A and B are shown apart, each in its own frame.
Chain A
Amino acid sequence: MNFRLLLIPALLLLLGGTLCASTAEVEKRLQTAVNEVLAIAEKSSSPSALAESLRPVLQKSLSFSAMTRRAVGPGWRQFTDDQQKKATQFFTTLIIRSYSSKFTPGEYPAITYKAASTPAPGRVEVPTTVLYQGSRYNVTYRLEESEDWRVTDVVIEGVSLIANYRTQFDAAFKSGGSESVINALSQSVTNPK
């Protein structure tokens, strides 16, 4: 038997190990970003100040362009470049504002990270358990490797942030196309509820 053949499983195992390390690395990167967010939240005085302080960190860790594209869905192809840019800007503000409002000053979540999984190549899901204000929540972060490994969705107790917006964007798109989506977004950003 040709002994060189034995090198193949060794190489395959080595490659597998490298991929595992990269999943762990993605999880580690997520943990660093979440810790950074919590550190900023701890120092913040108000939700609006927090939103502004969090913007650079979130822009570094979340892929807002992918999130907007997915939230709009197949209708995205009918948006002009300018409309896509506008929609991404509005949606970014909306997500940052919504995320910042989740923090109550003085009360910080205890997060337990579980083993990450790879549902498809270039995708990693990191399940966590969050203990916050006496309640336990299952929160899963979905990350994708586009420009870099970035969060593209957050699923809280089975409720996907992106899927939730998808239904709303769909309704707006059906009623008046891309302009209607931009108007609804613009209204939500200028008149926060």
Chain B
Amino acid sequence: MKIHPSILILLLFVASGPWLTSCASSASRKQAAPASSRSVGEKKSDGKSVKATDDLDEYTAASIPDPLQPLNRVTFWINDGLYTVLLRPISKGYEFVVPEPVRTGVHNVFENVRFPVRLVNNTLQGNFKRAGQETGKFLVNTVVGVGGFGRPSDHIPALADVPDADMGQTFAKWGIPHGAYLVLPVLGPSSLRDTVGMAGDYGLNPVNWVTIVYGGYTWTIAIPSANSLRTTHRQLGVYDAAIKSALDRYLAMRTAYAQYRAEAASR
């Protein structure tokens, strides 16, 4: 069969198209796509599409409806004061008394114990591969990492980079939208959907089972308190980073939360 040269050139050009337009492999592209590139004509987790019209429009961020803004702003400023007056000094004290390697170890232990939250949510999302990876991580860190104090799973490529899973994310994957943005007292930014999810995760976290089962005894407060201390220390760091150098701290926090959750839902 004789092929006309112009057709052959066209076929060759089409065949080499992917070579010319993408240097990185499709696998790396998929892995690399950040939230920011989602804004260029992709769909957000809540189903609303964001389309780029020119280079000035493409940075439209994921957002959450905020009909309760006046109330949320009041709660935000009360929380901000509470963090400054009470939680930040406690967190500083924790940082001063407990050396960094121990803080990391304590964090690892509580994160390891939180395994059922990730296992159940990965399963509910139908992501059985990740559920399996989480189980592997839990076993390796519990046995080799001495009760989860160390994270030897970080050195095993198949277990090193498993994304976190929670119930708010599960709801998002099921197509349930945020509803409305909520600033919760003390806990900070959330949404109607994520608050319901948080309640579910609370029940799945073994750290809270002690209080639920032995609620009458004072000693049961110790474990959840230690957990709160380590999460507060870390979350204050995230909070400070999000509002640092902001023009409007409330909006900065809300946008950061919306983007963070959209990214979690896309993983």
Cα A80 to Cα B71 in complex, Å, equals 37
Report yes or no: B256 in contact with A98, Cβ–Cβ below 8 A. Answer: no
Chain A residues near B32 (CB-CB < 8 A): 114-117, 125-127, 140
How big is the A interface, by class?
A: 35 or more
Cα A167 to Cα B107 in complex, Å, equals 33
* CB closest chain-A residue, reference B53: A74
Chain A residues near B31 (CB-CB < 8 A): 114-115, 127
Please report the total number of B residues contacting A with Cβ < 8 Å. 62
Report yes or no: B263 in contact with A69, Cβ–Cβ below 8 A. Answer: no
Report yes or no: A5 in contact with B56, Cβ–Cβ below 8 A. Answer: no
* CB closest chain-B residue, reference A185: B247
Give B18-33 as 1s and 0s: 1 = Cβ < 8 Å from A's Cβ atoms.
0111111100110111
A45 located at the interface, meaning its Cβ lies under 8 Å from any Cβ of chain B in the complex:
no
- Point out the residue from A77, A95, A142 that lies within 8 Å of B34, measured CB to CB: A142
B210 located at the interface, meaning its Cβ lies under 8 Å from any Cβ of chain A in the complex:
no
Which residues of A (129-183) have their CB < 8 Å from a CB of B? Answer: 129, 133-136, 138, 140, 142, 153, 155, 157-160, 162-169, 171-172
A190 located at the interface, meaning its Cβ lies under 8 Å from any Cβ of chain B in the complex:
no
Cα A123 to Cα B60 in complex, Å, equals 18
- Interface segment among B5-13, B112-120, B136-144: the answer is B5-13
**A119 with B37, Cβ < 8 A, contacts A98-B245, A193-B246 known:** yes
- Point out the residue from B15, B34, B56, B246 that lies within 8 Å of A125, measured CB to CB: B34
Cα A77 to Cα B263 in complex, Å, equals 30
Chain B residues near A184 (CB-CB < 8 A): 247-248
Report yes or no: B36 in contact with A13, Cβ–Cβ below 8 A. Answer: no
B88 located at the interface, meaning its Cβ lies under 8 Å from any Cβ of chain A in the complex:
no
Chain A residues near B13 (CB-CB < 8 A): 8, 12
A101 located at the interface, meaning its Cβ lies under 8 Å from any Cβ of chain B in the complex:
yes
Chain A residues near B218 (CB-CB < 8 A): none
Known: A23-B24, A153-B36. 10 other contacts (CB 8 A): A5-B8, A70-B58, A101-B245, A125-B32, A134-B107, A138-B34, A158-B262, A162-B59, A163-B255, A166-B61
Q: Sorted from nearest, which 5 A-B pairs have the closest CB atoms?
A: A158-B263, A134-B104, A163-B61, A115-B28, A16-B19
* 7 A/B residue pairs, CB under 8 Å, sorted by A: A77-B56, A115-B31, A117-B22, A126-B32, A127-B34, A160-B61, A171-B248
B residues near A (Cβ < 8 Å) are: 5, 8-9, 12-13, 15-16, 19-25, 28-29, 31-37, 39-40, 55-61, 63, 100, 103-104, 107-108, 154, 161, 234, 237, 241-249, 251-252, 254-256, 259-260, 262-264, 266
